[in-house]
Structure 1
Amino acid sequence: MPALRKLSIASLGTAVISLGAVAPANAAAFYNITGLDFLPSDINDKGEVVGEQYLWQAGKVTDLTTIPGANNSPISATAINNNSKIVGGGLNAGGFSDQPFIFDGTAITDLGRPGDFCNEFCPPTTAADINDANVVAIGYVLYSGSERPVTYIQDESGTQTEVLFDTFAVGINNTNQVVGYSPARARGSGEGRLWTENNTTTLLPANAPEFAIFGTSIADINNLGQVVGAGPEFSFPDNSQAQIWSDPLNNSIGTILGTLGGSTSRANGINDLTQVVGAYSLADGSTEHAFLWENGELVDLNTLIDSASGWELTSAVEINEHGDIIGIGNFNGEQRGFIASAKPVPEPTSTLGVLVGVFGLVSWRKRRVKR
């Protein structure tokens, strides 16, 4: 069934929109929206969500500042892996403030400090991400008041390996590939970087002139080594657009994902099904909307939810392997976090039902192939 394999959520959304005269608007709601009282930063495959100082698990919210070891610190959670281990920054420990931490489900523990820099001085340090082997990607600023970041990885034994200099860490995958980006310099915006087994690859923006290596900001990497972020569209240099590096070790030049009417966009997250989420600007520049990209199709997430829900989804932050999406939106005019979960597949009793059934079959086939 080759036609089914090519069908994506994005193209399905386009098809359903075209059926407006056939089906009620609310019938095109493929996602249930759950509101969050904090702004999320990561979601694992169990559907557990972290963000700010909070952990969300099936409706239960835990304030991480109340966990033993938090030391009344203004901690902030950045990532959660499939072992439910959480990392972040902002911990007061060992006489120093703004340090990295890990939460193992029982207590919060200081991850230690980078190398020998903390005898008398300890820079602000944040754990940016953690993979399923519990290896953590950590970033710190080398000198106070400067923009000289360093990225290193730390395993469960505490062994530290410096991987990227002059680079803010943003992600690590299960093969210990690390991505980040350099700060902006006088020559232009930052430079995206990928570290793999002691080799560093510079991630170039799409359509860049030979001399223009700057301009990318990196957001995420999946277990296939695919990277997403944003970079300039050199036909219109001020218009940074969402990009994907599908095989960066063999082709370090990005591919633009596009926009939906506006001039700018950015990709924030990617899963192992190569589903990408992010945000794009509306044509009038008034605000942003969350998007989902898959198989070359870009769709506004707002077209896949109940139009009477009261939600306007402004940015999608991350997507897990089940297609659950977290992000930020406005609910009845108030900014909140959200979880968008795919609805159960209905019986195919109509043209729309057939399309939704096909969507469910495609998702099931993908998960089965992956397993």
Structure 2
Amino acid sequence: MAMRHRFTTMLFLTILTGPLVAQAGPISYAITPIGTVGGVPASINNGGEVAGYFASGESTHAFLYTANTFVDLGTLGGGSSRAGGINDAGVVVGSAENFAGETRAFIYANGTMSDLGTLGGANSSAAAINNKGQIVGVADSVSGSFAFAYTPDAGMQNLGTLPGGVFSRAESINDVGTVVGGSLVGDFPLAPFHAFEYASGSMYDLGSLNGAWSVGKAINNNGETVGWSNAGFNVDHAVLYADGLLTDLGTLNGFGSSLAYDINDAGQIVGSSEVYDRESRGFLYEEGAMIDLTTLIDSASGWTIESAYSINNQHQIAAFGCKADVCQTLLLDPVTPVPEPQTDSTLLAGLLLIRWVLRGRRTRVHLGSGG
């Protein structure tokens, strides 16, 4: 009888103190347009700051969106600039033209844009910066263009290529210092171009879906890399490199091409995919499924998410979308699912179960006292 009493008590606690709400389904996103028409995002940090570029006259300028303020980062004296990455300190890197018309990797901090130089040639471009201030990209040398890693102490270092390659570029670096990008494997133009990972002074080939073409676009702090790979004639598919495996993420509708641009530490992936009308749609990939981001926003807003470029650890997404004839950078903020009240039938079933338990207990007590 004591055990029966304990069970009854636990049942009461489960029903009366347990969750009285049920989740309403997949997460949704609120939209904040950023900057001007035509702006394209590149990266979002964990503070929700966004870097990218926008049309400025006949050229483009890098921008920083911070504290609800849109900042034109200018150039290095030339006509154009583009942001490539931003870290959690709000430091932006990218590429900008100088007075001579050369394109140079830049770092923007404390209101100032500075030239990072090259590997000895004319041009360079920075793609990403981690939270330790390490910067990666591609730069010209006297013998070609190669992936680089830059630190203030060591300057710009040539990361080389995959065996036999004559060109490489770095796209991302995590906080551990692991770099990913792409490299030719052999002489141009017939050599394949493969995604690489660079760690501990060595560059490793990550392979591709069919041996021909791939690139590593982003790496998270767990060492998971996303990008895309050729998956057939004139078709590329978003891919994930993790635990030594290359996974084809497919497309939203099972045909056409898809590209993965970023992955956060939770393993959520964003990018773009073709759909039936051959247009592009931004996607969120999680738990083995690719989801059209346009289905996760308020349909009454009128926006269509055409591509998602970056996602942070707070699940905020920097995207590009269109509304009628207006296309620009959008900040997507996750909205907590609205809870649904527990159904009356669920509560009634619980109360009937308690009544049944109590009734059985009273019956046995009565029968026992008569013996």
Residues 70-93 of structure 1, C-alpha deviation per residue, up to 9 Å, x if partnerless? 436522211110111111111427
Q: Aligned to 1:160, which of 132, 156, 159?
A: 156
- 5+ long unaligned stretches in structure 1: 1-11, 17-27, 352-371
- Aligned positions of 1:150-299 closer than 5 A: 150-165=146-161, 166-182=167-183, 185-187=188-190, 190-206=193-209, 208=210, 212=211, 214-233=212-231, 236-247=232-243, 251=244, 253-261=245-253, 262-285=255-278, 287-299=279-291
Which residue number corresponds to residue 30 of structure 1?
A: 28
Which residue number corresponds to residue 126 of structure 2?
A: 127
Residue identity in the other structure for 1:274: G
Aligned alpha-carbon RMSD (Å): 2.5
Post-superposition offset of 1:347: 4.2
Q: Give % identity.
A: 28
Q: Retained in 1: the 8 A contact 2:118–2:141?
A: no
Is residue 90 of structure 1 aligned with residue 96 of structure 2?
Answer: yes
Post-superposition offset of 1:290: 0.7
Q: How many residues align?
A: 303
Q: Retained in 2: the 8 A contact 1:91–1:101?
A: no
Post-superposition offset of 1:175: 1.2
Which residue number corresponds to residue 105 of structure 1?
A: 110
Residue identity in the other structure for 2:250: G
Residue identity in the other structure for 2:112: A
Please say which of residues 82-91 and 312-321 is displaced more in the overlay.
Answer: 82-91
Residue identity in the other structure for 1:128: A
Is residue 60 of structure 1 aligned with residue 69 of structure 2?
Answer: yes
Post-superposition offset of 1:51: 0.6
Distance 1:198 1:29 in 2: 41
Residues 245-304 of structure 1, C-alpha deviation per residue, up to 9 Å, x if partnerless? 012xxx2x510111121322111111111100011111242x011111112111111110
Report the secondary structure of 2:41's partner residue.
coil
Post-superposition offset of 1:350: 6.6
Residues 185-228 of structure 1, C-alpha deviation per residue, up to 9 Å, x if partnerless? 4436521111111121111123x3xxx3x311221111111111
Q: Which is strand-richer, 1 or 2? A: 2
Q: Retained in 1: the 8 A contact 2:184–2:193?
A: yes
Change (3 A) 1:169 1:308: same
Post-superposition offset of 1:345: 4.4
Which residue number corresponds to residue 317 of structure 1?
A: 309
Post-superposition offset of 1:42: 0.6
Distance 2:95 2:81 in 1: 6
Which residue number corresponds to residue 325 of structure 2?
A: 333
TM-score w.r.t. length of structure 1: 0.75
Q: Retained in 1: the 8 A contact 2:184–2:191?
A: no
Post-superposition offset of 1:138: 2.8
Residue identity in the other structure for 2:263: I
Q: Retained in 2: the 8 A contact 1:317–1:327?
A: yes
Post-superposition offset of 1:160: 3.1
Which residue number corresponds to residue 366 of structure 1?
A: none
Distance 1:191 1:106 in 2: 37
Post-superposition offset of 1:316: 0.7
Post-superposition offset of 1:134: 0.3
TM-score w.r.t. length of structure 2: 0.75
Residue identity in the other structure for 2:145: P
Q: Retained in 2: the 8 A contact 1:29–1:305?
A: no
Report the secondary structure of 2:193's partner residue.
coil
Distance 2:181 2:160 in 1: 8
Distance 2:68 2:336 in 1: 19
